[in-house]
């Protein structure tokens, strides 16, 4: 059901002003290959310019810019929306996380699509991949993928640090640091909620990426302000036991 | 050559199916499997049985296109797989047309009409399309898979699409059909 | 010259309530919070009065020491009776000057008023006012935790405002 809703809303327009009234069957050959499948004859309508989302390019991103202000207003509304009927800060962070999660799943496919088709150099990070990017099989390539290409896709720069937990009790914990998360630029959290970090939304995105790649993980965002970076945020990634077990097996098998 | 293509969600739900035949070498693009029409489920059965192998291969090969991963000799069905980063599986079953000589005794054999038409096609065309494990076939399938991937990403980017939902867009279907026609 | 010393900033919401007050430089007499609230309310009333008494005749603005100016001192004498700038709604009091300080008032389209107390001797307040408005639009209005017409408690606004003024002066 991806595209149809849009088409349905367009149908009245395209039909009324098309000026080429024809029976439903004769306006079918909108696709380059006319008689493709019998399903074609269903009531599909295309926009008047005959461009469905499938005819549009996914790579027109070079000069495509988004207004930071409109994003800020949108995100502010998302936070306000998530704030309704919540019981506490954790609940609020969980909701923001859930809003980001599906975005992570989508971005993952888009990221790989873009890096395969934009002749290697643009997106493939210095640290991770050669020209045809591989699906990450181990934790480290996955983290590099998030730290580099994903962050660049979202924020046009890499994240600021990537660390592994030093404590021997928690070998499954990794940290990605962003000194000034874009989502928090205009947000001042009230003092009584000072544990809250709205970058929980980004944590949800990361979680979606990890889960999509088959790395079950819990990701949370934490405030770690410094003098220089008042909204410095650390994303804590905790991988599940199954991931750590598989990691050991793959290490023994010598897979990178 | 007949093809059965399916997309499985990360949770193994089939979200898209299509059967088609080759358009190369004078093929008419209509699938002619070796099972009778009443046994179409055999294709799904064979494809799903390759999932175990796919899940092993998934963690040893980081590529998205995993090439030919499984064969089901009784039906001489070959299975190629493509894995999207987000865990969706594209599986393509290809089955070369049956030779009259080998097929005559088989209980599974389709009608002799199918066999003969297939063999004449095969005889006239090069063996590229008919040999499911040749590098040329692998390349053709890879091209096909990347075209499907493009359409799939576009589907996945739609705000009305959630992961695991069936893909019902006729435009998507026609895109896949076109890709099949172009490469296979 | 182009960087006036800013003593204090007050923001008044459209109902006349004080929603923000901050001192940047000592130089003015300290006021208690209560006084500031009264000041905000009083100014709100005075502002409303000045708006209604804006003269309709294109007169030369009366220039006594506490000058109440009407918007844009240039009066385009088109007809006998008109507002100084036809088409532009009357805005009321815009600035007030004394020996010790200069009070500039800027009203946004939504009725929020910014009151800036600066050194009377130094130059244009416009850039300061614009920047303050910009910071307000960014760090207050885009903050999901700010409720409209309520007191401004946005740490990022405070921080950026302070940093910018410090960088200038």
- The ipTM is 0.77
Q: Which fold has domain A68-252?
A: Muramoyl-pentapeptide Carboxypeptidase; domain 2 (3.30.1380)
- Domains in chain B with CATH codes: 2-183 (3.30.450.70)
Q: Indicate the pTM of the whole model.
A: 0.77
Give the SS3 label for residue A57. coil
Compare B114 and B33 and report the one with higher pLDDT: B33
Q: In which region does residue A120 sit, left (phi positive, over 0), alpha (psi from -120 to 50) or beta (all else)?
A: left
Residues of chain A contacting residue C153, judged by C-beta atoms under 8 Å apart: 188, 190-191
Question: How many beta carbons lie within 10 A of that of residue A220, not counting itself?
Answer: 20
| B135-150 per-position pLDDT tens digit | 888 888 888 998 999 9
| C71-120 per-position pLDDT tens digit | 444 444 444 555 666 666 677 888 888 888 899 999 998 889 999 999 88
C144 Cβ under 8 Å from any chain A Cβ:
yes
Lowest mean per-residue pLDDT among B10-24, B54-68, B105-119 = B105-119
Whole-number Å distance between alpha carbons of C68 and C108: 19
CB–CB contact A198 C144 (8 Å): yes
CB–CB contact B168 A31 (8 Å): no
Residues of chain C contacting residue A189, judged by C-beta atoms under 8 Å apart: 145, 155
Task: Note down the domain range covering C14.
Answer: 6-168
Residues of chain B contacting residue A132, judged by C-beta atoms under 8 Å apart: 63
Longest dimension (CA), chain A: 73
List, in sequence order, every residue forming a beta bridge with A93; answer none if it has no partner. none
Q: For residue B155, give both structure tokens.
A: 């589907």
A109, A134, A250 member nearest B63 (Cβ): A134
Question: How many beta carbons lie within 10 A of that of residue B135, not counting itself?
Answer: 10
CATH 3.30.1380.20 in chain A is located at 68-252
Between residues 124 and 143 of chain B, which touch chain A (CB distance below 8 Å)? none
C143, C153, C159 member nearest A187 (Cβ): C143
- For chain A, the distance separating the N- and C-terminal CA atoms, rounded to the nearest angstrom, is 38
- For residue C1, being part of any structural domain is answered with no
Whole-number Å distance between alpha carbons of A169 and A165: 9
Whole-number Å distance between alpha carbons of B41 and B4: 11
Question: How many beta carbons lie within 10 A of that of residue C32, not counting itself?
Answer: 8
Q: How many domains does chain C have?
A: 1
Question: Which residues lie below 8 Å from residue A10, measured CB to CB, with a gap of 6+?
Answer: A45, A46, A47, A48
| A14-39 per-position pLDDT tens digit | 333 333 333 334 443 444 444 444 44
Question: How many beta carbons lie within 10 A of that of residue A213, not counting itself?
Answer: 24
Neighbours of chain B (3+ CB pairs under 8 A): A
Neighbours of chain A (3+ CB pairs under 8 A): B, C
Q: What is the CATH number of the domain that holds C15?
A: 3.30.450.70
Residues of chain A contacting residue C154, judged by C-beta atoms under 8 Å apart: 188
| CA atoms B161, B163, B166, B170: torsion sign | positive
For residue C83, what pLDDT is reported? Answer: 62
Whole-number Å distance between alpha carbons of B143 and B141: 5
- For residue C13, being part of any structural domain is answered with yes
Helices (H), A121-223: 139-145, 151-155, 200-212
**C118-126 mean pLDDT:** 81
Q: One digit per residue, pLDDT tens: chain A, 256 residues?
A: 344 444 333 333 333 333 333 333 444 344 444 444 444 445 666 777 777 778 877 777 667 788 899 999 999 999 999 988 888 899 999 999 999 999 999 999 888 888 776 544 434 333 333 345 688 888 999 999 999 889 998 898 899 999 998 888 888 999 999 999 999 989 998 888 888 999 999 999 999 999 999 999 999 999 999 988 988 999 999 999 999 999 899 988 887 7
For residue B111, what pLDDT is reported? Answer: 40
For residue A28, what pLDDT is reported? Answer: 39
What one-character-per-residue DSSP string does C8-72 give?
EEEEE-TTS-EEEEEE-SS-S----HHHHHHHHHHHHHHHHHHHHT--SS-PPPP--SS--PPSS
pLDDT of B84 above 60 = yes
A182 Cβ under 8 Å from any chain C Cβ:
no
Compare B60 and A209 and report the one with higher pLDDT: A209
Compare C58 and A244 and report the one with higher pLDDT: A244
B87 Cβ under 8 Å from any chain A Cβ:
yes
A37, A112, A246 member nearest B174 (Cβ): A37
**B73-99 mean pLDDT:** 85
pLDDT averaged over every residue in chain A? 78
Disruptive mutation site among A72, A188, A198, A233 for chain C (greatest number of C CBs within 10 Å): A188
For residue A43, what pLDDT is reported? Answer: 61
A253 Cβ under 8 Å from any chain B Cβ:
yes
pLDDT-based confidence at B157, cuts 50/70/90? confident
List, in sequence order, every residue forming a beta bridge with B77; answer none if it has no partner. B72
Question: Which residues lie below 8 Å from residue B25, measured CB to CB, with a gap of 6+?
Answer: B121, B122, B124, B125, B126, B129
User: How close C137 comes to chain A (CA, Å)?
Assistant: 10
Residue C55's Cβ-count burial label (10 Å; 0-12, 13-18, 19+) is middle
């Amino acid at each position: 059901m991806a595209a149809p809703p849009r088409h349905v809303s367009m149908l009245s327009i395209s039909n009324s002003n098309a000026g080429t009234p024809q029976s439903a069957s004769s306006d079918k050959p909108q696709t380059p290959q006319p008689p493709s499948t019998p399903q074609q004859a269903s009531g599909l309508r295309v926009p008047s310019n005959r461009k469905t989302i499938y005819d549009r390019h996914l790579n027109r991103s070079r000069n495509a810019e988004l207004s930071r202000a409109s994003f800020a207003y949108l995100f502010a509304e998302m936070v306000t929306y998530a704030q309704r009927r919540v019981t506490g800060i954790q609940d609020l962070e969980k909701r923001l996380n859930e809003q980001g999660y599906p975005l992570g799943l989508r971005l993952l496919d888009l990221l790989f699509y873009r890096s395969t088709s934009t002749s290697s150099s643009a997106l493939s990070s210095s640290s991770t991949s050669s020209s045809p990017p591989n699906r990450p099989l181990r934790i480290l390539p996955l983290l590099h993928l998030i730290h580099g290409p994903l962050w660049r896709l979202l924020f046009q720069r890499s994240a600021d640090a990537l660390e592994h937990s030093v404590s021997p009790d928690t070998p499954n914990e990794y940290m990605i640091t962003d000194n000034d998360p874009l989502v928090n630029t205009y947000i001042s959290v009230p003092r009584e909620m000072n544990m809250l970090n709205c970058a929980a939304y980004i944590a949800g995105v990361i979680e979606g990426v990890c889960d999509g790649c088959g790395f079950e993980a819990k990701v949370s965002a934490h405030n770690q302000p410094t003098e220089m970076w008042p909204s410095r945020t650390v994303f804590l990634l905790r991988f599940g036991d199954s991931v750590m077990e598989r990691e050991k097996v793959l290490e023994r098998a010598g897979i990178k | 050559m007949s093809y059965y293509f399916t997309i499985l969600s990360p949770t193994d739900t089939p979200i898209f199916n299509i059967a088609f035949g080759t358009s190369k070498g004078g093929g008419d693009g209509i699938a002619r499997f070796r099972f009778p029409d009443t046994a179409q489920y055999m294709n799904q059965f064979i494809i799903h049985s390759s999932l175990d192998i796919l899940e092993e291969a998934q963690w040893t090969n980081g590529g998205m296109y995993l090439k030919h991963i499984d064969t089901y000799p009784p039906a001489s069905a070959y299975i190629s797989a493509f894995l999207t980063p987000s865990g969706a599986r594209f599986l393509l079953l290809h089955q070369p047309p049956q030779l009259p000589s080998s097929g005559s005794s088989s209980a599974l054999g389709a009608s002799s009409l199918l066999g003969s038409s297939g063999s004449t096609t095969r005889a006239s065309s090069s063996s590229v399309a008919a040999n499911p494990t040749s590098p040329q076939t692998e390349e053709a399938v890879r091209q096909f898979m990347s075209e499907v991937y493009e359409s799939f990403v576009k589907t996945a980017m739609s705000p009305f699409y959630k992961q695991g939902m069936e893909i019902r867009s006729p435009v998507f279907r026609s895109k896949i059909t076109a890709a099949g026609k172009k490469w296979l | 010259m182009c960087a006036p010393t800013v003593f204090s900033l007050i923001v008044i919401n459209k109902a006349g309530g004080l929603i923000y007050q901050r001192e940047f430089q000592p130089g003015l007499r300290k006021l208690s919070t209560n006084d500031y609230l009264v000041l905000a309310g009083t100014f709100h009333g005075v502002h409303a009065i000045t708006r209604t008494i804006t003269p309709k005749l294109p007169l030369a603005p009366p220039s006594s020491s506490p000058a109440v100016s009407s918007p844009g001192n240039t009066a385009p004498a088109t007809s006998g009776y008109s507002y100084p700038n036809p088409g532009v709604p009357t805005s009321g009091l815009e600035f007030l000057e004394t020996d010790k300080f200069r009070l500039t008032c800027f009203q946004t389209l939504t009725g929020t008023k910014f009151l800036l107390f600066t050194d009377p001797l130094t130059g244009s307040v416009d850039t300061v006012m614009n920047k303050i408005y910009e910071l307000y639009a960014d760090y207050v209005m885009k903050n999901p935790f700010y409720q409209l017409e309520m007191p401004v408690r946005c740490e990022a606004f405070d921080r950026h405002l302070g940093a910018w003024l410090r960088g200038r002066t």
